[in-house]
Every structure is written in C-alpha cells, then in structure tokens.
Amino acid sequence: NAGVMQNPRHLVRRRGQEARLRCSPMKGHSHVYWYRQLPEEGLKFMVYLQKENIIDESGMPKERFSAEFPKEGPSILRIQQVVRGDSAAYFCASSPRTGEDTQYFGPGTRLTVL
C-alpha cells in the first residue's frame, strides 16, 4: 500500500512564474490536507479538500494560491506569480475519513523561488 505521494520533490521557480504541486493520497483516502512549513518552524494548515470539494481553505492566502482535488487524479496546489516569500516546504497529508486524528504525510515539495 503506497503512502502519500508528492511530486516534484524539489521545485525551483523564478519570481512571477507559476508553481504546481501534486499530491496523491494513500489508497482509500478521500481527505487531503496541505500544510506549509517555513525553515525552523512548525507546519501551518493551508487547505482541506475532499473529492471535488474544498472543505476549509482558511489557511490559504486569498490571492495567488488555489487548490483542487478532482474526481480523477491527484490534488493540485497552485501558486501563481510566485514571490520569494513562497519558498517553503509544502506537505500534503491524507486521511480515510472525517474526524480522523491521524494524518499520513507525504515527503513534501521543497519550493525555492529565485
């Protein structure tokens, strides 16, 4: 049973470009969460999605950031017009059901904005 998959593992973008981060949850998991981690800091919640629905995006910046989890395919976190402050590790996690206290994390995508 493969774990949570994320790609790419490392992504370098210049200011103003777009970044697309992908996440495939564990098999049988329909709940996906995205977290951001700045160096030497804890993980900060960004968005919680179920298939085709955004349940909670309270942690996501209002501009330039968007997320989706289509019926088929991985969840995508999209950052438009990246700025240096977007440089961070972005982790995806999944769980099989709501009300679940255990989340399973992917290896993360390390975004560097030049």
Residues that bind another protein (CB under 8 A): 3-4, 31, 33, 35, 37, 41-45, 48, 55-56, 58-59, 89, 91, 93, 95, 98-108, 110
> Shortest gap between Cβ of 86 and another protein (angstroms)?
17
> Shortest gap between Cβ of 65 and another protein (angstroms)?
16
> Shortest gap between Cβ of 108 and another protein (angstroms)?
6
What are the counts of helices (DSSP H) followed by strands (DSSP E) for the chain?
Answer: 0, 11
* Biggest distance spanned by C-alpha atoms of the chain: 39
Give the closest residue to 46 by CA, choosing from 31, 59, 33: 59
Phi, psi of 23 (to 5 degrees): -145, 125
| Residue (12 or 16) nearer to another protein, CB | 12
| Residue (17 or 29) nearer to another protein, CB | 29
Give the closest residue to 52 by CA, choosing from 34, 72, 70: 70
